[in-house]
Structure 1
Amino acid sequence: MELGRLSADALASFAVFADHLNFTRAAEALHISQPALHVKVQRLAETLGHPLYLRQGRRLVLTPEGEAVARFARDLDARVTAFLAEIHGRSPARTPTLAAGEGAYLYLLGDVVRPGIHLVNGDRAHTLTAVRTRRADLGVAVLDVLPAGIDAVLLASYPQTLVMPEDHPLAALSSLTLADLAGSALVVPPPAGPHRIALERALRAAEIPWTLAVEAEGWPLLLHFVSLGIGLAVVNGCVTPPPGLVQREITDLPAVPYYALHLPDRADDPLVTDLLSEIRTTLRRRP
């Protein structure tokens, strides 16, 4: 490979593709055609001698080499920006970027979301990719296994709870076990989601019979269906139910840990440390 064949334009385009992991949306953001972007990414991969993404089911994911290329592209852009600012006698503007999922933003990080912080919204995999590729300075996600190559700082752990109408018979109990859910119709996430997988595994291991009320994506929609009386839902304890619903801890389900995630070389970066300190302060204020 000749390093001179690495195109700055192709690197910048790939960084945008890494943000979206969708050729159509990335091409729209770059104001070029989808085939043109595909050619840029393909030629970059051929130059480097490694595939930069692969398909998992219906979604695209970056390979380790793809993550490294996106990270390099963003580092290069940051260095050019800093250099130009220095040439013009200005201090480079640095705005913190936070990546997290819908549930974390709604129920955990609400007081942190403000003007002056760039936000990236996506599921756990998307959040990890945003941190690994330097798109985000800090990510927040629930983790079952700590990822390699990323520093994970425990923020808080919450019990898993059952949400139900306040007049439901189980609402009279102060806490529940999985056995109390026997025969319940449950509102659950789609099958591929980590919460659904873990819940089904626990119910199956405890030999608890249950029925599917409806599948729904995201805590707000789950709670909406519970409010309509369609079924009950198991949610993380940080989720605040709307009026008319109550939640009770399920004592034999494991607690759900939320972690702050950043690259090891960013441990002393003020963009990371200040944002992490703000999140910790916010969580200490929670009831």
Structure 2
Amino acid sequence: MFPGESLPAFLVFAERLNFTAAARDLHISQPALHVKVRKLAEAVGCPLYVRQGKRLVLTSEGEALARFARERADQLDQFLAELTGEQRRVALAAGQGAYLYLLGDVIARESARLRLFTASRAQTLALVRDGRAQLGISVLDELPDDLDAVKLTTYDQVLVVPHGHPLARREQIRLSDLAGLRMVLPLPSQPLRVTLERLRLVADFEWEVAVEAGGWQLMLHFVELGVGAAVVNGCVRTDLATVPIVDLPPVPYYAIHRPGAPADRRVAQLLAQIRQSLGST
């Protein structure tokens, strides 16, 4: 018989991936939690987690069971909220740039109804996939097969420089115009940096890496200090000079959710508000 009463405990473990922390959150002993997880594994017929070095990692079966447990908990919460008339929060995942430059108005209005995750693109997709976030906002180069993606808006990529810079008065430039410039670049692991380096190699020119920085705000700060020029998404607001780069691909932002999520009125309302705020309705 499937021990469904152990699902809530397994869900806490799946989110923590630490028996000590999960048992503390559940106010039970570690041995008791081990028993619950073991009984679930026996019912499923395969391990739910494995140890990789010092870390515990869910197996694919464990991830599937965690999604099922999260969906079941969400359905129960929704049912109880409808009975009591309480307003449930929507979990929203997005990156730093989206929060700073796209979502501020919506969050200011709806903060009491939101649970926010600050996440990278990969983390945002993972949070939506496993149900911890009902909605994600991110730049996507490729649309995921298992999630629904709604395009919200698109921005050109621009060069940001001080107003006295030789390129500041140009109406537009090409990527090759950055040859020889001192550049404030994203960290090597970030998607924009990967794209810029690939296109630079294709165009066959060099630039000087003045500094690598994580996040638009720090990059703009270095530009203001005269460290170098930076390439950012056109949504970034700044008093510095911005010049469109015509041969860089535009940056599309998408709302991402699991199939059927808009059937939840809260998710549908939040998505509609975001689209209206960005002029994409």
2:177 is aligned to 180
Partner of 1:108: 102
Could you tell me how far 1:205 is from its partner in structure 2?
Answer: 0.8
User: How many percent of aligned residue pairs carry the same amino acid?
Assistant: 45
The one-letter code matched in structure 1 to 2:265 is: P
Q: Report the equivalent of 2:276.
A: 281
CA contact (8 A) 1:16 1:26 kept: no
Match of 1:238, as an amino acid?
A: C
Q: What TM-score results when the alignment is normalised by the length of structure 1?
A: 0.82
Aligned residue in 1 for 2:73: 77
TM-score (norm 2): 0.84
1:270 to 265, 270, 275: 265
Q: CA deviation at 1:40?
A: 8.0
> Which segment is superposed worse, 259-268 or 36-45?
36-45
Partner Cα distance (2:212, 2:35) in 1:
39
Secondary structure, in 3 states, of the residue corresponding to 2:278? Answer: helix
Aligned partner of 1:151 in structure 2 is 148
**Contact 2:182–2:228 (Cα < 8 Å) also in 1:** yes
**Structure 2 residue matching 1:186: 3-state secondary structure:** strand
1:68 to 64, 71, 85: 64
- Distance in 2, matches of 1:193 and 1:280, equals 26
Aligned length: 273
Question: d(CA) in 2 for partners of 1:276 and 1:112?
Answer: 10
**Aligned partners of 1:175 and 1:37: how far apart in 2?**
65
Once the two structures are TM-superposed, the CA of residue 8 in structure 1 deviates from its matched residue by: 2.7
CA drift of 1:93 comes to: 3.5
Asked if the contact 1:160/1:250 (under 8 Å) is kept, the reply is yes
SS of the residue corresponding to residue 195 of structure 1 reads helix
Provide closer, same or farther for how the CA distance between residues 284 and 68 of structure 1 changes in structure 2, counting only shifts above 3 A.
same
Greater Cα shift, 102-111 or 189-198: 189-198
In structure 2, the CA distance between the partners of 1:259 and 1:37, relative to structure 1 (3 Å rule), is farther
Change (3 A) 1:125 1:41: farther
The unaligned stretches of length 5 or more in structure 1 are: none
On the 8 A contact 1:143/1:257 being kept in 2, the answer is yes
Cα distance, 1:97 vs structure 2: 2.0
Cα 1:40–1:191 shift into 2, 3 Å:
farther
The 8 Å contact of residues 151 and 264 in structure 1, kept in 2 or not, is answered as yes
Q: What is the Cα deviation at residue 95 of structure 1? A: 1.9
1:82–1:92 contact (8 Å) kept in structure 2: no
SS of the equivalent of 2:210 reads: strand
Rate the CA distance shift 1:203–1:44 in 2: closer, same or farther, 3 A. farther
User: CA separation of 1:212/1:252 partners in 2, compared to 1, >3 Å: closer, same or farther?
Assistant: same
Question: Alpha carbons of 1:199 and 1:79: their partners in 2 closer, same or farther (altered >3 Å)?
Answer: same
* Cα root mean square deviation, aligned: 3.3
- Secondary structure in structure 2 of the residue aligned to 1:175: coil
Alignment of 1:192-207 (within 5 A): 192-207=189-204
CA distance in 2: counterparts of 1:169 and 1:59, whole angstroms: 52
